[in-house]
Amino acid sequence: MIPYGRQSISDKDVAAVVDVLRSDFLTQGPTVPRFEQALRAACKAPHAIAVNSATSALHIACLALGLGPGKRLWTSPNSFVASANAGRLCGADVDFVDINPDTLNMSTTQLSDRLEQARRDDTLPHIVMPVHFGGQSCDMRSIHALSDEYGFRVIEDASHAIGAIYDGAPVGDCRYSDACVFSFHPVKIITTGEGGAVTTRDPALANRLGMLRSHGVIRDAGQMTHDSDGPWYYQQIDLGLNYRMTDLQAALGASQIARLDRFVKQRHDLAARYDEAFEQLPLRRQRRDAANRSGLHLYPVQLDPALPDRAALRLRLFDMLRKDGIGVNVHYIPIHTQPYYRALGFNDGHCPEAESYYQGALSLPLHPQLTRTEQSHVILSLRNGLRTLGLS
């Protein structure tokens, strides 16, 4: 089976992890700070806080920005459930802003309209969390301008987008946000096995994020409520969590990030071949902004929304491709349609563009390990499948 995503592990990656296994520290040693320094350099951000998953990163970013009961998080429905769950884990209310059908990212027009109504209703969000779907940055300039007007904080869910470029700078530099979150799951652009990180320009926020990832405990005498009892002393000054990244994970990440630009270029080369092959096929593709650079975590396509019984046709095509050894997937089931969120009062029609996209969506294999022969098989199989369905 050709997977839709797959890690690329080199001998240097293996050696880096083995070096840590043979060292004195497996958890809180020197390798996590080294990986954080590499992240700061890659993202051109002053602060990077590595944690054990992107979900953890989203959670502590929300906590650090004061999200809690009685406050609201708005995010995209076209994402994995972790984006919204981070807000619920803080005890906040969550709502969803529909997507632009071309970019598949949060619609700034929808966001602006919703904010104007929320101001009239006194229900403005505390945090807006745009999701850079597939690796393509949202329109962060516009979102930042709206945050100035309406007074909300911004967390970029860039789980798909390390290595992406927006407005001439790396995604993660936080010019247009308070914080930016990355994922290092094995199917993402670089991996630490499981892992995530938050970048920010705000030193006070960075300090709070570092405390929250480690039980709310500090060891810096200058931050303590009274004089230290001795070199062993620590204080818990907030209710934190154990979200620390291990040195084993960080060693893999530090090795991987050295190949970040190469990984992104390989993804673009593969995507360009798909683009050319699918030019004449009845498929809609995510619009990628030529002025910026996507991280290209995903290559999503969708059957024409005008097709009758599109969901049934997508299922038949999905099954044909899987039987042909191609591990296509679907990203994403709109979060608000999940049973948990339906129980909170969300119904079909809340985000019609995201719901429409889901009905016809497929994610094709895209990763640096994908060979030209494998990609040719994907292209031929997709063409044959569409022909079998009478769509080409």
Residue partners of 314: CB distance under 8 A and separation at least 6: 302, 303, 359, 360, 361, 362
User: In terms of domains, do 83 and 54 share one?
Assistant: yes
User: What DSSP letter does each residue of 70-102 carry, written as one string?
Assistant: T-EEEE-SSS-THHHHHHHHTT-EEEE-PBPTT
Domain boundary, last residue among 257, 274, 290: 257
- 345 confidence band (pLDDT: 50, 70, 90): very high
CA distance 181 to 256: 18
Domain boundary, last residue among 257, 274, 289: 257
The count of domains in the chain is 2
pLDDT tops 90 at residue 28: no
Rounded to the nearest angstrom, the gap between the alpha carbon of residue 221 and the centroid of all alpha carbons in its chain is: 36
What's the rounded mean pLDDT across residues 356-360?
A: 98
- DSSP state letter for 162: T
**Contact call for residues 235 and 226 (beta carbons, < 8 A):** no
User: In terms of domains, do 84 and 224 share one?
Assistant: yes
Strands (E) across the chain are located at 2-3, 47-51, 72-75, 93-96, 127-129, 153-157, 165-166, 169-170, 179-183, 196-200, 217-218, 235-236, 283-285, 299-303, 326-327, 361-364
Domain boundary, last residue among 237, 257, 277: 257
CA distance 181 to 254: 17
User: In terms of domains, do 200 and 227 share one?
Assistant: yes
What's the rounded mean pLDDT across residues 219-230?
A: 89
CA distance 132 to 113: 20
**Which residue out of 44, 188, 265, 323 is catalytically annotated?**
188
Please report the pLDDT score of residue 221 as a whole number.
Answer: 87
CATH of the domain at 342: 3.90.1150.10
Give percent above pLDDT 70 in the chain: 100
User: In terms of domains, do 148 and 274 share one?
Assistant: no
User: In terms of domains, do 225 and 94 share one?
Assistant: yes
For the record, the structure tokens of 207 come out as: 């300090």
In terms of C-beta density within 10 A (0-12 exposed, 13-18 middle, 19 or more buried), how is residue 343 classed? exposed
Amino acid at 62: C
Q: Within 10 Å of residue 323's Cβ, how many Cβ atoms? A: 10
Q: Which tens digit of pLDDT belongs to each residue from 129-149?
A: 999 999 999 999 999 999 999
CATH of the domain at 224: 3.40.640.10
Please report the pLDDT score of residue 101 as a whole number.
Answer: 98
Q: Which tens digit of pLDDT belongs to each residue from 275-295?
A: 999 998 999 999 999 899 999
User: In terms of domains, do 175 and 284 share one?
Assistant: no
User: In terms of domains, do 202 and 266 share one?
Assistant: no
User: In terms of domains, do 314 and 244 share one?
Assistant: no
What is the residue range of 62's domain? 2-257
Indicate the pTM of the whole model: 0.97
- What torsion do the CA atoms of 200, 201, 204, 209 make, to the nearest 10 degrees? 10
Give percent above pLDDT 90 in the chain: 96
Q: Residues 246-261, buried b or exposed e (16+ Cβ, 10 A)?
A: bbbbbbbbbbbbebbe
CA distance 49 to 197: 5
What's the rounded mean pLDDT across residues 14-22?
A: 97
User: In terms of domains, do 233 and 287 share one?
Assistant: no
Please report the pLDDT score of residue 392 as a whole number.
Answer: 81
Measure Cα distances from 103 to 43, 269, 271, 369 in Å. 23, 20, 16, 26
Question: Active-site residue 265, yes or no?
Answer: no
Q: Write down the mean pLDDT value for the chain.
A: 97
User: In terms of domains, do 265 and 380 share one?
Assistant: yes
Q: Is the peptide bond before 340 cis (omega within 30 degrees of 0)?
A: no
User: In terms of domains, do 212 and 67 share one?
Assistant: yes
Which residue from 191, 186, 154, 158 is spatially nearest to 57, judged by alpha carbons?
Answer: 158
What's the rounded mean pLDDT across residues 96-113?
A: 98
Q: Which residue has the tokens 């799951």?
A: 185
- 48 confidence band (pLDDT: 50, 70, 90): very high
**Contact call for residues 378 and 2 (beta carbons, < 8 A):** yes
User: In terms of domains, do 233 and 265 share one?
Assistant: no
